[in-house]
Amino acid sequence: MDLAVSQELNPNRYPREAHGLKAEATLNRITLNPSSINPGETLYVNIPKFAQGIVIVPNSVALVFNLNVVGHANNTLVNNVGRNLVTSFKVKFGGEILQDTQRYDLFQTYNDLFLTKEEREDRLKQGISSVNMRKLRTNTGDKVTAHSGEVALAVVHNTKYRIPILNDHGVFYPKALPNHLLFELTFAPVKDIVIYPDETKPPNYTITNLESEYQAITSDYLADQARASYQTGKRF
């Protein structure tokens, strides 16, 4: 007796299984104090301990702020300014230094060279864009307004930028930690951030309306799993 096997089905196929959790995430922003900073200064950012069962969504912790260029009418910003702004990056926990990266700007900019085309196009908040888009966002005198799509995006994002500060982590449950997680970010000198004509006097940049941003969900299950992983030293 011959056995007939349909060519329409994959005999190795398994029923689809869920390998993740879905939950409604809320976007939260906390105004920092001080809410502005100057070139060369260091900013200190604490991750607050939220209420019971509230966990932070992976890769959602960042700084958001307004960045303006001061000086000549044609002054603009370097590409990927969100990465170039931070020259020194430290992470401290309970007084211990977990990470101390000097020239953090070079390290992160190099990593971003490996982004796909789609990923780069999605980094406008971080400042990755064309030369003219950067001119539109800094409102230079030599900007080109012929491309309506670029003009519309520049209006939406304007001078608002974003710096990711907590990457490559699982679900984060700050309340389970015995100490606060502290980030120290030292900002770059003007010459590394602003592009300006040689014949003009040195420019400046200003950072205002500093906020810490994160997405959070309420999940007792994830909170318990995160707490257990902190206690055992294993990621879940």
Mind listing the pLDDT tens digit for each residue in 166-184? 876 667 888 888 888 999 9
User: Would you say residue 115 has pLDDT above 80?
Assistant: yes
Question: For residue 30, which amino acid is it?
Answer: I
User: For the chain, what is the largest distance between any 2 Cα atoms, rounded to a whole number of angstroms?
Assistant: 91
The per-residue pLDDT for 67 is 97
* Confidence tier at 104 by pLDDT (50, 70, 90): very high
What whole-number distance in Å separates Cα of residue 235 and Cα of residue 19?
16
What whole-number distance in Å separates Cα of residue 197 and Cα of residue 232?
56
Distance of CA 102 to the CA centre of its chain: 18
What whole-number distance in Å separates Cα of residue 193 and Cα of residue 134?
12
Sequence-distant (≥ 6) Cβ neighbours of residue 123 within 8 angstroms = 80, 82, 112, 115
What whole-number distance in Å separates Cα of residue 54 and Cα of residue 220?
8
Choice between 198 and 56, residue whose per-residue pLDDT is larger: 56
- Please write the tens of the pLDDT for every residue from 65-82: 999 999 889 999 999 999
The phi and psi torsions of 62 (rounded to 5 degrees) equal: -160, 170
199-202 own/partner pairs: CB under 8 Å, 24+ apart:
200/71, 200/72, 200/75, 201/71, 201/72, 202/71
Q: What is the mean pLDDT of residues 2-30?
A: 62
The per-residue pLDDT for 138 is 95
* Confidence tier at 102 by pLDDT (50, 70, 90): very high
* Confidence tier at 10 by pLDDT (50, 70, 90): low
User: Would you say residue 15 has pLDDT above 70?
Assistant: no
User: Would you say residue 221 has pLDDT above 90?
Assistant: no
User: Would you say residue 136 has pLDDT above 60?
Assistant: yes
Percent of the chain whose predicted confidence (pLDDT) is above 90: 64
What whole-number distance in Å separates Cα of residue 194 and Cα of residue 16?
51
Q: Helix (H, G, I), strand (E, B), or coil: what is residue 196?
A: coil
Specify whether the CB–CB gap between 132 and 144 falls below 8 A: yes
Specify whether the CB–CB gap between 11 and 202 falls below 8 A: no
Mean confidence (pLDDT) of the chain: 87
User: Would you say residue 6 has pLDDT above 60?
Assistant: no
Q: What is the mean pLDDT of residues 206-221?
A: 93
